[in-house]
Amino acid sequence: MNKTGYYTHRDCWKHEMGHDHPECPARLDAIEDRLLMTGVSDALDRREAPTAALADVELAHDRMHIAALRGLTDRLVDEIQAGGPPHAQLDQDTSINAFTWQAALRSAGAALAATDAIMAGELENAFCAVRPPGHHACRDKAMGFCFFNNVAIAARYALERYRLQRVAIVDFDVHHGNGTENILAGDPRALMVSFFQHPFYPYSGDQHPADNMLNIPVPAYTRGMDLREIIEMMWIPRLEAFKPEMIFISAGFDAHREDDMGQLGLTEQDFAWITLRIKDIARRFSKGRIVSCLEGGYNPAALARSVEAHVRVLADL
Ligand SMILES: [Zn+2]
């Protein structure tokens, strides 16, 4: 039995935000190609992502935000049928098409289904190859290519549905996970650890909003070796003290040195090392339970190699 799940759905390919947008369906093609070519796919339990129930999305989002996205989608579909343009713009770099709503529900649904399968003992851990990503989505708004905060929804779900006492969120995307912070700051059942390039989009995270947030800003051009030291000295002791019963990863790979979206200097070896350190914590405290959700990563080749390295560690390959 393969103990690492791989969740995705074709609906996640249908969401797109316009020609030349970096958060594009080709990202998932690059990941799938790489995992197939290297044989890693064979070691994974591939599962279809279901759609999330709205009641579960509400664990992290205001009803108004969910209703607004639904309403915007309905209006867009009507306009498209009347000959209008295929996208509706939410902010400067975030827009929806007719399939965004469904893709966003599949992305959150992947994280929820992975949580269920892991808690049922069917899987030890899982990677969700989904888009749209989630970690910029705040309680009451979409932003930064994100609509629903997949990781925050699943973390809250694990706490509520399975009565867990402590869950950890690890975010290694190049950008600060401001949405996750917005939703979980002050919730003592959740600990978020992250690093991110600063100053940089979304220009947050250098404050100390709550004791359960360990967000470490680092300057542009910080290299993997330096980040490993920061992780060893700052993340690991906090995670050890917290003793999470389950770990959720905001797995963004845009801190890769070949990714032009950011200016950090990580390689796929660094992502493998980080995953190994998280896995060690999970083995010691969390019965191995890890749900990892794709966030950023915009150079398709570097993204694909990084996901392969990450998933190899998850699956003990
Ligand atoms: Zn990012």
Please choose, from the candidates 162, 151, 101, 145, the residue with its C-alpha nearest in 3D space to the C-alpha of residue 126.
151
Catalytic, 135? Answer no
In angstroms, what is the span from residue 23 Cα to ligand 1's centroid?
Answer: 10
Cα 202 to ligand 1 centre (Å): 10
DSSP assignment string, 146-191:
BSS-HHHHHHHHHHHHS--S-EEEEE-SSS--HHHHHHHTT-TTEE
Q: Whole-angstrom Cα distance, residue 139 to residue 142?
A: 9
Write the secondary structure of 23-87 as one string of H (helix), E (strand) and C (coil).
CCCHHHHHHHHHHHHCCHHHHCEEEECCCCCHHHHCCCCCHHHHHHHHHHHHHHHHHHHCCCCCC
pLDDT of residue 207: 87
Mean residue pLDDT of the chain comes to: 97
- Estimate the share of the chain in helix, then strand, then coil, as percent rounded to the nearest 5: 40, 20, 40
CA 143 to centroid of ligand 1, rounded, Å:
12
pLDDT, tens only, 95-121:
999 999 999 999 999 999 999 999 999
**Model pLDDT for residues 142-190, shown as the tens digit of each residue:** 999 999 999 999 999 999 999 999 999 999 999 999 999 999 999 999 9
State what percent of residues in the chain have pLDDT above 90.
98
Question: For 231-277, how does the pLDDT look when each residue is reduced to its tens digit (9 = 90+)?
Answer: 999 999 999 999 999 999 999 999 999 999 999 999 999 999 999 99
Q: Give distance in angstroms: CA of 8 to centre of ligand 1.
A: 19
From the list 15, 65, 135, 136, the catalytic residue is 136
Distance from the alpha carbon of residue 177 to the mean position of ligand 1, in angstroms = 8
Show contacts of 69-78: CB within 8 Å, 24+ apart: 69/96, 69/100, 69/101, 69/104, 69/142, 69/147, 70/101, 72/96, 73/98, 73/100, 73/101
Length of the chain: 317
Bridge partners of residue 196, in order along the sequence: 217
pLDDT tens by residue, 274-295: 999 999 999 999 999 999 999 9
Report the alpha-carbon distance of residue 279 to residue 125 in Å, rounded.
10
Examine residue 86 and say whether the peptide bond preceding it is cis (omega within 30 degrees of 0): no
300 CA to middle of ligand 1, Å?
A: 14
Q: How confident is the model at residue 1 (pLDDT cuts 50, 70, 90)?
A: low
The 3-state DSSP class for residue 221 equals coil
276 alpha carbon – ligand 1 mean position (Å): 21
Q: How far does residue 49's CA lie from ligand 1's centre (Å)?
A: 22
With 0.75 as the threshold, say if the pTM is over it: yes
- Distance CA(57)–CA(280), nearest Å, equals 30
Q: Decide: helix, strand or coil at residue 143.
A: strand
